[in-house]
Structures are given as structure tokens and as C-alpha cells.
Amino acid sequence: MKKLIVLLIAVSIVMSVNAQKKQDNPFFKEYNTPFQVPPFDQIKYEHYLPAFEKGLKDAKAEIKKIADNKEAPNFKNTVEALEFSGELLEKVSSVFFNLTGSNSSPEMQEIAKEITPKLTSYQDEILLNDKLFKRIKAVYEKRTTSKLTPEQIRLVEIKYKEFTKNGALLNKEQKARISKVNQDLATLSLQFRDNVLAETNDYKLIVEDEGRLRGLPRTLIESAREAANKAGMGGKFVFTLHNPSIMPFLQYCEDRELRKEMLNAYLHRGDNNNEHDNKEIIKQILRLSLEKANLLGYPDFAEFTLSDNMAKNTGKVFELLNQLWEPASHNARMEAEEIQQMIFNEGQNFTLEASDWRYYAEKIRKAKYNLDEEELRPYFAVDNVMNGAFHVAENLYGIKFKELHDVPVYDPSVKVFEVTETDGKHIGLFFVDYFNRSSKRGGAWMNNLRSRQVKNGKVITPIVFNVCNFPAPVGDTPSLLNLDEAETLFHEFGHALHGLLANNSYPSIGGTSVPRDFVELPSQLMENWFSEPEVLREFARHYQTGEPLPEDFIDKIQASSKFGQGFATVEYLAAALLDMSYYSAPPVDDVDAFEQEIASRYNLPEAIPFRYRSTYFNHIFGGGYSAGYYSYIWAGVLDSDAFEAFKETSLFDQKTAESLRKNILEKGYTEDPMDLYVKFRGREPVIEPLLRKRGLQ
């Protein structure tokens, strides 16, 4: 009897401890924070897995309930129920996967490795569920006679296509195989990203002699000195492969050997035959991607991907890329000849190499336009540029931004803004995380922490993130951006507006949940306002004196706007062609050899490497842009044509801005993207504005 009592006490204690743990887990209760923002300060590593496990358990039970429902299938009990299922799972996933990109750690990476295959398997359990698909199909077949709204009909159509495109019509053996393929692809992509981050963080160029740093901006030298001090290497200078370090280094460092060393390390990330090498992972991803496409009835993965995009097929993508390749490569060759001549004029006899291009291009720009980007930096303090982006949005759409100081954040440098209509109506929250750190993956992006939706008649407002890798402040000096970085801020802010101004009921077809070659339209369109003189005069002010950017500087920015576009366009197009070539061809046996084959096929100049070499091409092997990197130039056609609608009227023409908001930003994927564009512009886009903008005519 005593043993039984002891056992019962022990069980009671365990149950009590488990209950306490559950009570302490922030994901298991409603967030008691402003605007129900996740309490980042309370979330610990040990909270994620229990929340994921319970979230998966609850979500699977919900899916079973929908599939087993004895009532006749209709929109509410099937499609809408599926759309809003898995609330806890979405709650923990949105936090976790936002932070694995912006504030990662070894602990987060280990959790991701454990949970990613389970999440992929769960998605397959939904999309390959016969009983659930039959109900979706029944609603789909009656969609036009069921008194549904246009948005509801669109959601039904998208859900039905999602199921059929992901294997709902396959037999049992094929479904089992595609589920395994999906899990393997998810795991490999995660490993690819982790390897790139590790390779980027592991390399450091340590310079002892400050004399070798001639030409470098003083701010970069001081950042390198501070990095060395933090690493316990006082008196030395540390440079890294993160963009705020390497890009100005390549642009200004006079020491050619140091430039070569830095660029070589950058280009060989993931290609060093070590524990972080990505070549075998790439081969496996390509092999599995082709198998998946074939199982689903597509000749290759590119055709599988593009069937949902505006482009529809590989032929249209290659047609656009090839149409731009010749004029871009012609301009690039002319730029190379000009650089080579400058090298000779300086009394040097070496042949132009990749590590020379940015350095000499910057010298030529300064000579041609008397424009030194380092002279511009003091006028582009990050807060000023951000306020410039806010100014554009306020003038276009009448919305307001107010900084909040009582909202939890995951890093002290993160800022939060409430976004409201002119009348004060709450739209959403906007988080900005702008500065580079080792826990953040490279690049810049926008993401939703919470998407706009209407659930049980209640509007749930969005929480949107912009994450960048700008140089961090040093001492009393704020983060000062170059032109490319400032334009990047405007670009990501355009994505943010797409998420914030969404006016949809269902998150899977709202905001930025649109095809890849349409999602870049709002972001790239926003870039156009950045360099307009009227806008520059508003926000570009010296961070110390408050003096506006001098008019002659504005004139120089305008005059030099097409400078270097041959290099920039070829560098981009080469990467887009590499992506399309990988996913529209048989799997490769040798990654480096395939790269060389594509470079030779298009006569890519040796001095212009791919913008992303394969082994660190996160977009296509570690993200969602497989056979989709072309999207930026496709959207470039759209944004160049769209901006002309403003140039034909005025920069802040209210009628045009209202049409843009109502027909593009608010609509998401509730209608066909081309139909939406035509509603905004009055016709389909034409390519000539893009050619003029880049000087490619």
C-alpha cells in the first residue's frame, strides 16, 4: 500500500510539474502584450519543441475532424475550416522561423533540424489526404452555384489546385514517395542555409598593418578595428564576408592582393570541400526536385514551378532573359574596356579581374560624375532613409507611422511602429531589424509575423517585419548607408506595404501570398521613388549638421543612374540563367563544371562572376525561389511600366496611388495577377520602360 501511495505521489508531482511547464510556456496562453505581439523577452529555447508538438497534435486532430465530418461538404465546414486550422502551430511557427533567419543560434538550428521534417510530413498528410481532398473537390465543383463571394471562390480554386499539384491524384505508393521526397528536400534546404551561414561567419580577414587599408572609408576601418577589439585582437583589423564589410572593401581598398583574397573567400563559400561544403547537397536537391516534378506529371522542376507563376512556362522566362542578355552584355563589355583602359592609364599592365571591377568602377564613376559614394553616406543615416520611405507612403496612401516603445522585441536594435490610416484607424505593426550581426543570415527580406485575416467576423491585423544587414552604428556615429543599401531599404519597405495594406479575409491568398514573379512588383516599384529629387530633398540630410543633400549631389545621382548597369544586369541575368538551367535540365554530376558550362554558353565575361555562385545560392537551394530567381527582372518590367503611370501624371498623383493600392496592394492573390495589373494600368505591361531605365536600348 505504501508503494502505491508513493507511486501516486510521484505521478502527481510529475503531472504538477508538467502542468506548471505548460503554464509557463508563452505559446500556450494568449499574449498579454500590446497588440498581442509575441513576448519575445519570455520565450526560451525550451518552449519551442513542446509548443510545436502540441501544435502538431492539435492541428492533426482538426484535420481529421474536417475530413471525417458527416455533414455535406461546403465552404465553411471544409475550405474555411482548413484555412484557419492549426492556430497554435501557426503561432509558434511564425515566431520560430522568423527568428531562425534574423536571430539564429546553434540551439535554434538544432530545433529546426528536428522539427522541419515533422512539419513537412504534416503538410503532406493534409495535401495527400484522400477524404479531405474529396471534400475539397466537392466544394470546388459547386463553387459557382454556392453563393460564395469572389474571394471565397478564388480560395476554393487555389486550394483545389494546391492539392492536385502536390499529389492528391497520385496512387498510394506515389503519395508515400512524394512525402519522403518533400521531407528530404526540406532537410537539405535547411542544411544548405546553415552551411552558408557557417561559411560566412567562419571567415575573417585579419590585417595587422593599417597601411594596407589605404582607400577604405574611415567608418569601415573603425568598424574593423572594433570587430578586432571584440575578438581580443587589439591593434588589428577584422573584415568579414557580410555585405557591410566586403562590398565597400572591394569598392575602395587599394591593396589588390587583399581584394583578391576577400573575393576568393566570398565566391568559394560552400565550395571548400569541408564539413560545410554544399556541392553534394545541391546534387541531391536537383535529383529530388526532378523526381518530384516527374511524379506530378511535369517534365522538369522549372515547368512545375512556373505553372503557378505569371510566366506560366520556361519558354517565356528564357525569352525575356535572352532578350535582355545581348544589350546588357554589350554594355558590360564596353564598361570592361573602359576599366581596362584606366588600368593601363595608371601604368599597370595586368588584365581586369573580378576583384578589380568594383574598385575601378568606383574610380570611373568618381571621375565621370565627380560622385563619391562615401561623400554621400553622411546624408543617408538609416533613420533618415527610413523616414524618407515613410514620407513616400504617407504621401501616396495617407497612412501614418508612430514608433512604439512598449512592444517586446527580440534584439535591442529592433524598432516597432504602429501604422494607421489618416483617421487613426489601426492598420498593423511594422518591425524593422536593420543591422548586421552574426546570428542573422545574409541579405534582406520581409516577412509576416501575423497576416491580415478575418476570423469569426473579427479582423486580425498584420504584423510585418523588414530585416536587413546594414552596417551597425559605431560609437556615436549612426549607421550610414550607401546608395544601394538605401535603395534596399525602400525595396523591402515596398514588400512591407504589400503585407500591411492587404485587405483580404483569408491569409493564404492575401498580402504577399502571390506568385513569385508578381511579389516583387510592389517592392521594386517602391525603389523608384528613392532617387527622385523631390524625395531626396525631403529626407537626405547630413546626420551631424542637418543640412540637406546639396543640389549638385542630387544632379550627380540622376546623371549616374545608368552607370554600371551593364555589369549589374549581366551579373543578375547570369544567376537567373544558372537557376533556370539547373531546374530545366537533367541533374548535374559536377556542380562547378555545370557553372562553367553555363558561363561558356552565354559568354559570361571572366571578370563578372555569377551574382550568386551555386554553393551559396540560398534563393534557389535554401529558400523558395527555385526556378524563380528570374522573378526580379520579370517584376522589373512591371515596376518600370507601372512607375511611368506616375511620371505621366505626378510623383504622388492620388488617383494613380489609389488605383495602385486598391488593385495591387490590397488584393493579394484574390484575382489573377495580370488581370490586377491591367485594372491598375489599363493595359498589359511593355518592356521599353525597363530598357530605358537601365540604358539598354
Which residues does 274 contact at the CB level (< 8 Å), separation at least 6?
none
Cα angle value 108/110/111 (rounded, 5°)? 65
Question: What is the H or E stretch that residue 206 is in?
Answer: strand 205-207
* Identity of residue 119: L
Which residues does 443 contact at the CB level (< 8 Å), separation at least 6?
469, 618
Q: Can you say whether the dihedral through the CA atoms of 16, 22, 23, 24 is positive or negative?
A: positive
Is-contact 617 575, C-beta < 8 A? yes
Question: What is the H or E stretch that residue 238 is in?
Answer: strand 237-239
Task: Provide the CA 267 distance to its chain's centre, in angstroms.
Answer: 21
Cell output for 612: 550568386
**d(C-alpha 155, C-alpha 78), whole Å:** 12
Residue 480 pairs with which residues in a beta bridge?
Answer: 381
**d(C-alpha 653, C-alpha 642), whole Å:** 13
Half-sphere exposure of 378 (CA within 13 A, CB side): 15
Rg (CA), the chain: 26
**d(C-alpha 498, C-alpha 513), whole Å:** 10
**d(C-alpha 324, C-alpha 332), whole Å:** 12
Cell output for 566: 551593364
Which residues does 151 contact at the CB level (< 8 Å), separation at least 6?
504, 505, 506, 509, 670
**d(C-alpha 140, C-alpha 653), whole Å:** 41
**d(C-alpha 159, C-alpha 155), whole Å:** 6
Instruction: Give the count of beta carbons closer than 10 Å to the beta carbon of residue 168.
Output: 21
How many residues can be counted in the chain?
Answer: 697
- CA distances to 205, 280, 286, 451 from 274, rounded to whole Å, are 19, 11, 21, 40
**d(C-alpha 191, C-alpha 281), whole Å:** 8
Instruction: Give the count of beta carbons closer than 10 Å to the beta carbon of residue 233.
Output: 15
For the question of residue 492 being annotated catalytic, the response is yes
Closest of 439, 432, 541 to residue 480, by C-alpha: 541
Closest of 442, 465, 522, 450 to residue 490, by C-alpha: 522
Three-class SS state of 445: strand
Catalytic residue among 492, 520, 532, 571: 492
Query: E strands, 344-491, where?
Result: 400-404, 415-420, 426-435, 445-450, 453-455, 458-460, 463-470
**d(C-alpha 259, C-alpha 256), whole Å:** 5
Q: Can you say whether the dihedral through the CA atoms of 576, 579, 580, 582 is positive or negative?
A: positive
Q: What is the DSSP pairing of strand 426-435 with strand 445-450?
A: unpaired
Question: What is the H or E stretch that residue 74 is in?
Answer: none
* Identity of residue 74: N
Q: What is the DSSP pairing of strand 426-435 with strand 463-470?
A: parallel
- CA distances to 147, 210, 227, 249, 602 from 224, rounded to whole Å, are 64, 11, 5, 11, 38
Is-contact 665 550, C-beta < 8 A? no
Give 159: exposed, middle or buried? Use CB within 10 Å, 0-12, 13-18, 19+: buried
Q: Which residues are catalytic?
A: 492
